[in-house]
Amino acid sequence: MTRERTHAPRFPTNPGITGYVASTGEALNIPDAYQDNRFDQEVDKGTDFKTHAILCMPIKDVKRKVIGVIQLVNKQDGTAFNKNDENLIEAFAIFCGMGIHNTQMFEQAVRAVARQKIALEVMSYHAIASEEDAIELKKTIIPSVESLKILDFGFSDFKINDDTTIKATVRMFLDLDLLQSFQIDYLVFCRWILSVKKNYRNVIYHNWRHAFNVTQTMFCMLEAGEMKNILTTVERLALMVGCLCHDLDHRGTNNQFQKKTMSPLAELYSTSTMEHHHFDQCIMILTTKGSDIFRNLSQETYSQVINLLKSAILATDLALYFSYRPKFEALIATNNSDWSNEDHRNLLRSMMMTASDVAAITKPWEDQKKIAALVASEFFEQGDIEKKTLNLTPIPMMDRAQSDKLPDLQVGFIDDICMPVYKAISKVSPKLNPLLEGCQQNRNNWYMQSKAKPEDREPLPLVYPKRLLTK
């Protein structure tokens, strides 16, 4: 199949042979072009070339849509195209279709990546706190641990404002010597804290205040509980950052809700859905210029911290807690714990994350009642959506109609989740006993409430809009 000429004729895709194949999707094998009325003889005029045989094949994409045409003219031996030629060109047309499709898909992917980069840049710009605010925080005098009273397991944040929670967070990292140990620039650190706070939504419970309280409990466990004697500086950094970031961008709904609603997050992560999202948000802030507190870490230390950080945040998924806890309890019960063993250390860190996450259950009774009201309110909000939007019956803890069961649910929560972890970690360090004692006291209080008549129970404090607990 060749042409010996200086000028190659053009074959339009609208009329004639190519037009027919393009419009119908059918292949044509014509032994004598001049005997076929679909052939446009004008293409040969003005050239030293004469068309005899034509083989024309459509190129189709994966959806069988015609995206091109292959046309062969005149075999070298002067004969008509045969069945073998048809099979060969059909295979080539399929190959071309795949190539064109893959090229288009690649181009689309490149454009999508570019759009995502732009979206991330825009999101990062709006998500990261301003440098001006960070400079103001940098100038601020940070109170001592003693004046802030953050070295107390019974610490309450209800009487302090948001500015004080930020100062207290700075103080915790300073007192653990994390900034100096990892050469963290103070201005970058201030901007990171403000950015983390900015990325918590204004939901009822899983907000900045919850993250701050979880971090304060971890700080107490490390300092007052003397767990820093077991953990390395890198582990302390990962746990503190993990606590502060563990619920970033929480929407006030749990993993099961993401699955029920088939949310984009559930499509992205099949397990530990929200925890993976929290980690992703954490990394987004940590890798954005101006809030990248890990910028001076060596590659080895950086990789280690990120791996520890991911494990810490994912450990707040109670589904993982239930799989880790029996292993940890077995280590403690048999005195087989070896803190030089990384598997044992991972279990310990995971239990510390859970212990910090649910530490509201260890607070003084008046605070515990307030927090229980907040948690219940957020759960009831989810239950309302499940009823009205999904036409589902929510589980009792999320069903506003069953709010009178709150004391029983609290006792069950303590027995199933809280008490076991505090019993276990208090055996690692007796200095952690205040957590266990607070949990036991609140268990007694909730048990008494569950046995009392509804009209005789202590009312929950009104620390939330009244509409949240009304039908």
Active site residues: 206
Q: How many CB atoms lie within 10 A of CB 371?
A: 21
- For residue 37, say whether it is annotated as part of any ligand binding site: no
Burial label, 304 (beta-carbon count in 10 A; 0-12, 13-18, 19+) = middle
- For residue 236, say whether it is annotated as part of any ligand binding site: no
* Nearest Cα to Cα of residue 92 among 120, 61, 64, 70: 70
Structure tokens at 290: 């101006």
- For residue 400, say whether it is annotated as part of any ligand binding site: no
- For residue 152, say whether it is annotated as part of any ligand binding site: no
d(CA 279, CA 270): 15
Any residues with CB less than 8 A from the CB of 277 and at least 6 apart, and which? 248, 249, 265, 268, 269
Q: Which residues pair with 71 in a beta bridge?
A: 56
d(CA 103, CA 67): 13
- For residue 209, say whether it is annotated as part of any ligand binding site: yes
* Nearest Cα to Cα of residue 231 among 311, 340, 315: 340
- For residue 207, say whether it is annotated as part of any ligand binding site: yes
d(CA 373, CA 470): 12
Long-range (24+ apart) CB contacts under 8 A made by 205-211 are: 205/252, 205/371, 205/374, 205/375, 205/377, 205/378, 206/247, 206/250, 206/252, 206/378, 207/247, 207/250, 208/162, 208/165, 209/157, 209/165, 210/247, 211/243, 211/244, 211/245, 211/246, 211/247, 211/248
- For residue 246, say whether it is annotated as part of any ligand binding site: yes
Angle (CA) 464 466 470, round 5°: 125
- For residue 208, say whether it is annotated as part of any ligand binding site: yes
- For residue 410, say whether it is annotated as part of any ligand binding site: yes
In 287-341, which ranges are continuous DSSP H helix? Answer: 299-314, 318-333
Any residues with CB less than 8 A from the CB of 355 and at least 6 apart, and which? 217, 221, 421, 422, 425, 432, 435
d(CA 202, CA 378): 11
Burial label, 46 (beta-carbon count in 10 A; 0-12, 13-18, 19+) = exposed
Check if the beta carbon of residue 414 is closer than 8 Å to that of residue 436: no
d(CA 260, CA 394): 11
Annotation: binding site for AMP = 206-210, 247, 357, 410
Cite the annotated binding site for Zn(2+) by residue number: 210, 246-247, 357
Give binding residues as ranges: 206-210, 246-247, 357, 410
